[in-house]
Amino acid sequence: MPRFTSRLLLRAVLLVGVAYFLIPVWWLITASTKSSSELFSSAPLWFGENFSLFANIAAVLTRQDGLFLRWMLNSVIYAGGGAVGATLLSAAAGYVFAKFEFRGRNALFGAILASILLPASLLVMPLYLLFSSLGMINTMWAVIIPSLVSPFGVFLSRITAQESVPDELLDAARIDGAGEIRIFNTIGLPIMVPALLTVFLFSFVGVWNNFFLPMVTLNDAKLWPAMLGLYFWGNQPSELNYQFVITGSLLSIIPLAIAFIGLQRYWRVDLTAGAVKL
Amino acid sequence: MTIAVQTAPRAPAPPLPRKHTTIRRAQRSATWLLLTPFLVLFVVAFVLPLCYAVIESFFTEKKSGLGIGGERVFAGLANYATAILDTDLLEGVGRVLLFGVVQVPLMLLVALALALAVDALKGVLPKIVRLTAFLPYAVPGVIAAILWAFLYLRGTSPFVAILARLGVDADFLSNDVVLWSIANIVTWTWTGYNMLVIYSALTGIPRDLYEAAALDGAGAWRVARSIKVPLVAPALVLTTFFSIVGTVQLYAEPTVLRSYSSAITAGFTPNMAVQDVAFGLNNYGVAAAMAVLLALGTFALSFGFLRVANRVTAGRAAV
């Protein structure tokens, strides 16, 4: 095949890909600018006659005494708190698995990895019973505590520690008389930081998207994360309700989308790819 | 890039003089000090729930005459028998398997094609693709499902409108189609992410391999087929593995879409069926047995896949 046509073909493939990725988001943007009735009467992928975006946003933010803002705040607390904790715990555990020999190391690491395969429905029910026996149902802890555990984060942290923290450096510090915890804090952890950003982002997305666990453990609407709240609004599909769900959805992805595109260069997908070699 | 680098087996560190035993002791206490916080929470979030579910799967609640409360009695394998014969679960498993067999290869083929195209071209377009590929991943599953629900819904859907103009009466939420409408949502969310994983493996291939191939007279397509695809096989194995796990776990998308489509039943996927039996029917023993079977099935599927994949890639390497 001549090079020119094959290049053209590749460009066409990429353009179709970009359109596929963007059209739903574009639809969401245009739909948020329409009134409830225009949603059905105007062209679906373009703006309506009246620009109602700000009216829609105001309606979402004031609905049920500003519940939506509360949901967003909850999401930030769950995802932010959960991800910071999960990253630190994973970093410490991954470092230990990479740098220290101890009996049962491989079996323990295998068990942690295998837990990735456990279906959510298996864990959520016992967690519900566990938290209710501890009186923690309907508290933020019921969502935060499970979010602190990221088996995948331990996995990534171990790879990172193996690849980027040189043993010679640790041995030199030991000869200088530094304690192991101090060595981890002052040598291991700082070297691991760039890759830990990836662990943080993975955990953050995981908690932000989590929906099953909060649905089971939180009854109080004031504690819901944004995903659960929007699901609940969407669960009453009356046409009057649509605009709340649509504009709410747009508002809920803006912070995440900005954060992600901004942090993209710190996101090392190749870490996951490197995982295969382990 | 680090992907292609296989860490050589390290020579054991030379024994440290004198302080050796104190260092060993310090390492042992540091090991547990650093590992314990994670392990405690791991036990709370994974080990205890797993043990509890396994134990509960062997017990049943014997209803008293009035049907209120009841006595917990050992049930042997009765819950497992009920679980295996549960038509909701069986249908859900069948649905998810069909979904996986079609959606996973399709999505990864598209992701591979996009990654190869991005890798082969220069200019602005590949950069735009890499940036936009990230966007769907940043959209949570619940929102993606809501978003697509409106894109499927008669009245708000541009696609239904366009097809109607062409004389086709499309209903993306009907009984026969809804599974594939869900497949499209999952594909939309994950294609870009998988593309980025494959692309980052492509950028790790040493460039001189291409030069050598060009000297041998291989064209771009030949290079893609004989060098690029085999060398990103590990990334494909990994993305397939995670796609299989995700497929078995399918929950958020169909649950959300349920509000918009009557074709989705309460036990549409295995995860939904378990939840329905536990909280809808309050039959915790059977739900636990179903969940345990589901976990075993996931293990068998994903490890089975890894085993086959390893054999295939090892066989290829030997040739």
Whether A237 has a pLDDT exceeding 70, the answer reads no
Name, of A138-142, A208-212, A260-264, B122-126, the range with top average pLDDT: A138-142
Residue of A264 and A247 predicted with greater confidence? A247
Chain B residues whose CB is inside 8 A of the A209 CB are 140-142, 252
Residue of B41 and B28 predicted with greater confidence? B41
Whether B143 has a pLDDT exceeding 80, the answer reads yes
What does the pLDDT average to over B290-315? Answer: 90
pLDDT for res B224: 86
Q: What is the mean pLDDT of chain B?
A: 86
State whether B114 and A14 contact (CB < 8 Å): yes
Give which of A171, A269, A271 to mutate to test B binding, by max B Cβ within 10 Å.
A269
State whether A242 and B150 contact (CB < 8 Å): yes
Of A6, A24, A92, the CB nearest to B34: A92
- Burial class of A173 by CB neighbour count within 10 A (0 to 12, 13 to 18, 19+): middle
Chain B residues whose CB is inside 8 A of the A246 CB are 146, 150
Please, what is the angle between helix B78-85 and helix B284-318, to 10°? 70
B65: confidence class by pLDDT, cuts 50, 70, 90: low
Question: Is B156 at the interface with chain A, CB within 8 A?
Answer: yes
Give which of A6, A7, A117, A148 to mutate to test B binding, by max B Cβ within 10 Å.
A117
- Using CA coordinates, name the residue in chain A closest to B39: A93
pLDDT for res B318: 54
Contact A156, A198 (CB under 8 A): yes
Distance from CA of A80 to the nearest CA of B (A): 15
pLDDT for res B64: 60
Chain centroid to Cα A115, Å, comes to 18
State whether A163 and B7 contact (CB < 8 Å): yes
pLDDT for res B220: 81
Share of chain B above pLDDT 70, in %: 89
What does the pLDDT average to over A251-256? Answer: 87
The label of the residue with tokens 């009466």 reads B169
A277: confidence class by pLDDT, cuts 50, 70, 90: very low
Question: Is B170 at the interface with chain A, CB within 8 A?
Answer: no
- Cβ count near A126 (within 10 Å): 21
pLDDT for res B56: 92
> Three-state DSSP class for B88?
helix
Which of A36-40, A112-116, A189-193, B201-205 bottoms out in mean pLDDT, i.e. has the lowest?
A36-40
Q: Give the fold, CATH level 3, of A66-277.
A: MetI-like fold (1.10.3720)
Contact A47, A30 (CB under 8 A): yes
Q: What is the mean pLDDT of chain A?
A: 88
Of A17, A119, A272, the CB nearest to B291: A119
pLDDT for res B168: 87
pLDDT for res B66: 56
pLDDT for res A214: 94
What does the pLDDT average to over B300-305? Answer: 92
Which of A21-35, A60-74, A226-240, B189-203 bottoms out in mean pLDDT, i.e. has the lowest?
A226-240
pLDDT for res A273: 52
Distance from CA of B64 to the nearest CA of A (A): 22
Distance from CA of B66 to the nearest CA of A (A): 24
Whether B18 has a pLDDT exceeding 80, the answer reads no
What does the pLDDT average to over A74-81? Answer: 94
pLDDT for res B7: 43
Using alpha carbons, select from A214, A164, A172, A218 the residue that is nearest to residue A190: A164
With 0.80 as the threshold, say if the pTM is over it: yes
pLDDT for res B311: 86
Q: Which pLDDT tens digit goes with each residue over B219-257?
A: 888 888 888 999 899 889 989 999 999 999 999 999 999
pLDDT for res A238: 74
Q: Which pLDDT tens digit goes with each residue over A176-222?
A: 888 899 999 999 999 999 889 889 988 998 899 888 899 999 999 99
Q: How far apart are CA B26 and CA B122, in angstroms?
A: 53
Contact A246, A239 (CB under 8 A): no
Q: Which pLDDT tens digit goes with each residue over B25-38?
A: 778 888 899 999 99
Of B7, B132, B156, the CB nearest to A21: B132
- Cβ count near A157 (within 10 Å): 30
Q: How far apart are CA A89 and CA A157, in angstroms?
A: 10
Q: Which pLDDT tens digit goes with each residue over B94-132?
A: 999 999 999 999 999 999 999 999 998 888 999 899 888
Cβ-Cβ contacts under 8 Å between A and B: the total is 312
Residues 6+ apart with CB under 8 A from B275: A121, A124, A125, A212, A216, B287
Share of chain B above pLDDT 90, in %: 52
**What domains appear along chain B, each with residue ranges and CATH number?**
20-74 (no CATH), 78-318 (1.10.3720.10)
* Residue B14 backbone dihedrals phi, psi, to 5 degrees: -60, 140
Query: Domain residue spans in chain A?
Result: 1-64, 66-277
pLDDT for res B319: 47
One-character DSSP codes across A88-139: HHHHHHHHHHHH---TTHHHHHHHHHHGGGS-HHHHHHHHHHHHHHTT-TTS
Residue of B61 and B298 predicted with greater confidence? B298
pLDDT for res A88: 97
Per-residue tokens: A114: 């295998």
Using alpha carbons, select from B131, B58, B269, B55 the residue that is nearest to residue A17: B131
Contact A141, A130 (CB under 8 A): no
pLDDT for res A161: 93
Q: How far apart are CA B272 and CA B248, in angstroms?
A: 11
Tell me the ipTM for this assembly: 0.90
Distance from CA of B51 to the nearest CA of A (A): 9
State whether A123 and B27 contact (CB < 8 Å): no
- Using CA coordinates, name the residue in chain A closest to B136: A21
